[in-house]
Amino acid sequence: MTTSTATKAEPGVQSGTTLYRRISVAMFFAGFATFSLLYCVQPLLPSFANHYHITPANSSLALSISTGFLAFSILLSSAFSEALGRRGLMTASMIGASILNIVAALATSWHWLLVARALEGILLGGVPAVAMAYLAEEIAPRGFGKIMGLYVGGTAFGGMMGRVGMGSLIEWFNWQWALAIIGIIDLIAAIAFYFLLPPSKNFVAVHGINIHHHIRAWVGHIGSIRLLYIYLFIALVFGDFVAILNYTGFRMSGAPFFLSPTEVGFIFLSYVSGIIVSPIAGNLTNKYHRSSLLFISVAILALGLVLTLTNSLFWFIVGIICVTIGFFSAHAVASSWVGRIAVGAKGHATALYLLFYYMGSSFIGAFGGWFWFHGGWDMVIAFTGTLVIIAFGFCYLLRRRELA
């Protein structure tokens, strides 16, 4: 059988078609909206600490509370999407979260801001797992790795614009106005997503919410040792990434750098490297062992951690770029691997992946504040470096399973 014949025989939307391009752009918008809303508060953590007279660890709750609630919301949204459909749930989630970002800007106290951010996290849970399930159902296998990479690239672009855009906006406006502006931009992105994304063709709605069905599906996926290793791996890697970026602002605004909020925000332009590397890493899964790609990704991240120990601004930025490349390449490879390994109930498999993903970021990101408070940046790197060593262990275990 020729390659062209094999490609034609594959079910799903084929790479290179107009429909494939529409879905790619729509998913890029979904990744952008979700991550710009989620991470736009990260450059504001020092501002929150000063404005509300709270510790750096407490200020990180503005992000951790969103990711924590999002993690559990993902499980529920994956179940509801089985009954309600993919496109409608994703659109409603993005529109609601955009509005809540504007509400957070109007919060009169720290506690009300946290309430708004928690609700925002709950709504944003309706996007990531459902988006990954939609792609697994609708895209032909040969085009899946590439389009997953584009979606991850959209998340990178959203995270970058949320951080860099926020860093620039607070030079011209107060942080309340900056939050509201991000919310308005993402509201527009959500509307564009709805009109670009075609309705599901391979999705079959399940009438009602059968709790036992969902529990069986989740338990079944947890019982897959390869999936479990991937889940634990991504929790560590994403947790490391978020912990580093959470306290980069505090590190950069103090000695020996003394950067302004705008200058700190521009460091997050390192996300450009994530946008570039994500689709490349996704494509490489068609040529190389995924476990090897994960090992290389973690090695790049580890190099970045070491480079951030320097007092040179140039090498610190290079280190952040390496951390970014390492994380996003690992995420692109691991997320596409879940879609290939899972047998049935792919929405549940991706929901579990994202549960571990966001719980890792929530707990590790917040816990990094304890290390920052007790030992500064060196302690943060010691903490995240220890987790990287464990991540290497999971790469080894996955390698053994992949070659077995």
Q: What's the residue count for the chain?
A: 404
Closest CA to 195 of 17, 83, 15, 30: 30
Q: Are 334 and 294 in contact (CB under 8 A)?
A: yes
Geometric angle at alpha carbon 286, from 403 and 130, rounded to 5°: 100
Phi first, then psi, for residue 139 (nearest 5°) are: -100, 140
Is 248 within a domain? yes
> Residue 9: what pLDDT?
45
Give whichever of 105-109, 116-120, 133-137 has the largest mean pLDDT. 116-120
The domain total for the chain is 1
Q: Which amino acid is at 259?
A: L
The DSSP 8-state label assigned to residue 139 in this structure reads B
Bridge partners, 139 (sequence order): 13
Over 60: is that where the pLDDT of 8 sits?
no
Over 50: is that where the pLDDT of 167 sits?
yes
Is 2 within a domain? no
| pLDDT tens-place string over residues 288-321 | 888 999 999 999 999 999 999 999 999 999 999 9
| pLDDT tens-place string over residues 212-260 | 777 887 888 888 899 999 999 999 999 999 999 889 988 988 888 888 8
Is 3 within a domain? no
State how far the Cα of 332 lies from the Cα of 208, in Å rounded to an integer: 33
Band of the pLDDT at 404, cuts 50, 70, 90? low
pTM, rounded to two decimals: 0.77
Is 6 within a domain? no
Over 50: is that where the pLDDT of 169 sits?
yes
Band of the pLDDT at 386, cuts 50, 70, 90? very high
Closest CA to 70 of 196, 168, 155, 166: 155
Query: Which structural domain range is residue 395 located in?
Result: 12-212+219-403
Judged by DSSP in three states, 211 sits in helix
Q: What is the CATH number of the domain that holds 174?
A: 1.20.1250.20
In the chain, pLDDT over 70 holds for what percent of residues?
A: 93
> Residue 235: what pLDDT?
96
Is 201 within a domain? yes
Alpha helices of 254-312 — where are they, by DSSP H?
Answer: 261-267, 271-284, 290-307
- What Å distances lie between residue 69 and 92, 105, 116, 125, 363, CA to CA? 17, 19, 11, 8, 12
Q: Are 120 and 97 in contact (CB under 8 A)?
A: yes
Phi first, then psi, for residue 268 (nearest 5°) are: -75, 0
Count of CB atoms within 10 A of residue 312's CB? 12
What is the average pLDDT across 73-91? 77
> Residue 35: what pLDDT?
87
State how far the Cα of 129 lies from the Cα of 61, in Å rounded to an integer: 23
Is 79 within a domain? yes
Is 321 within a domain? yes
Over 80: is that where the pLDDT of 403 sits?
no
Burial call 113-127: b when 16+ CB within 10 Å, e when fewer: bbbbbbbbbbbbbbb
The tokens describing 178, both together, are 């900056």
Average pLDDT, the chain: 86
Given CA atoms 366, 367, 372, 374 in this order, what sign does their dihedral have?
positive
State how far the Cα of 316 lies from the Cα of 308, in Å rounded to an integer: 4
> Residue 5: what pLDDT?
36
Is 7 within a domain? no
Bridge partners, 13 (sequence order): 139
Q: Would residue 12 be called left, alpha or beta, if left means φ above 0 and alpha means ψ between -120 and 50 degrees?
A: left
What is the average pLDDT across 57-75? 87
